[in-house]
Structure 1
């Protein structure tokens, strides 16, 4: 059952911090008030299991609220939580019926853990006190069976009865303690508080709960939580004390606090993005790295379900509605049963971060069992660098394969041509033959030079990280190099950027050059065509086209040996960011299609034309 606590303090910042910590530590709902009058209004509306109250506040103070409650017959556990540490404040609080006094100060987590312990103990003790009060007629029978030590003392603080459980707790025989002064067993520094507590209990008006350090027969120190109840018998006043050993529970609490502190330290310092849900799937905790990466504060995240956070950033083709429903259903099953097909698997997914950059993440889900039920933890490891390194490695291996197998063959062929002409010159050294052979050898040298130039460019392709490039500017920059062509560019490219290799401009150079060298065309149109998943850049000329089958990325060697080196280089540059290059069949001219994934495009804000824009090139490269 959820514990209802009223927390009263005129410092709203401290109220917010206290509410957050206490509600994180257990099944507890904290209602706050900033004054005694506001607190009294809340107490009239509902029942609370405990009240935490500051001492010094404007107007009425914490002791005024305590006195009002006790005068009204309200015995709700009351904990005075204040920075005022004077002894008279403590005595006044105990005299008026406070259950605990805790001084403010120190590290926040430990401070509120102690406060949470006081709330738990106050509620437990109050329930025990009510049970004892309602069963006073069976009081002595209970003495023989309960684990707590029950002690009855008279007005002179002499022990008149003590339960057998004193043997286990203090290693004393009950009969050895009859007649002894109970104050002799308490830490000297706590005797004064114990005297005041017993005096209050003797009046029969107040049950007081206190913590004491008590020395056992063998010298061991036991920390007790005590409840003192006053009653009369045969005209004399007595106090019955219920003492519970909380030494081990405090050690457990301390160990638990250490675990919590270590866990939070781990979360704060972890290089991974970590999000933990509550038992219904809402975000309960997000570590600083995840909060920064997702630009998502803890306050905002706690109103969101884990699956909503994840699919907010997934790449469009991965964050489909069907996949959303699958993840949501699987994670909800995990919260109910602790079993889920997603648990324990490393899932590689692409996330678009708030700044527009892409992150390749390795996502791992796993369950955590808590007292209230199952929770789910999502850990995201950034593998962008690993993935880029792997892709570069594979690209390098492919380059080695292509360069090794194709260029070896091509160079061997050119060497064979050279040897042939050398033999011709040696056999028939006529002037005419020598001129023909010299021209043929110059052509071979030219081809070898072009192959070596291509090799250098090919090896550099994809080495540097891709960047966002202004598509409109790229096309016009290439168009300026081909004055003999009339290039018309679709205005739909204005303001569009694509995520591509830094040398992507060479692709448009090669496509325009292909029209001049192979197609013989004089006009080129660059048109935009959109599909649900891609933005297609159509480059169409009016020439005769290339005499070969439509090309795609499956014939690299064929392209190098037959179709031209430029298209192979273009293919390699485009492959860096998954852009495709295909040739579309056409009755006249060559039509090339660059397919750019929509997730690799973005629209920038409008801006003024650059002052140094080459107006001559823009006039020559007209607009549609």
Structure 2
């Protein structure tokens, strides 16, 4: 930890340097005897912290502090270590952004121990803040270009939303920052979302994926799928999440479900092993078994579907479909042993099926 110590008493500076480096081996103390010399060294070198006396010839400690904060625009740790303990000096120092105000008094070994602890703690905290800012900057840069909505909730309000999030809900960023997150949730789902956010905001919840109905700025409802995790933001617990608008996907799924259920021919869905996952009413009625009896059955085990001689042929066709060698879903199987076999609306043959 490179520290610049500024004091116009040469003997004191040398003594302080020796004690501080002995007290904390991570400290490497550079020295300056005037505020002007200190400023010049700050211009030329990089330091992790500054310790300065208040009363010095020329530029005093307060002037140096103000110059550092305003002209260098840095929050580098700055400790005012002085024998002049007037209250007005302390107030000015705090207003200019000093990190600590310590007085030169008491046993030298004891006071240098306090000073070493103080500057070490301030430097560690400063580096932690810088690392956090770098991480947040990187996260923001990635999030700004993301194709999914990204947000941070802290103390029940939005602290960050990316452009895609704003697009999904129809708001500008400044309309959402520091606003309650529940304004974007439909009344019927407020308790669901609130419970999840509170659990993760407390730091006790786990990552979770769920869906809810959100509210667009126009008032229309939108279906949202969200993934959120407990995290931290600027040193405090927060909820970080991503979300997407699944309104159109949900409508398409419902439309497909309606078509699947009401199509007048037998339709079914198989898993990759050829076992029945779903089927429509026409299929159930033709087979004559209940849903419980059919779900999980292998295609070749279904009664009234395949003749014995076609089982091997059907299995071969199914393998081709799974391997991507057969693109036409109508080639899954041929219907046999039916008085009036249904025909596929696509090709007019007696081939029918569906693979998921």
Which band: TM-score by shorter chain? 0.3 to 0.5
TM score, norm. by length of structure 2? 0.44
TM score, norm. by length of structure 1? 0.28
> Which of 1 and 2 has higher RCO (CA within 8 Å, sep 6+)?
2
Whose Rg is larger? Answer: 1
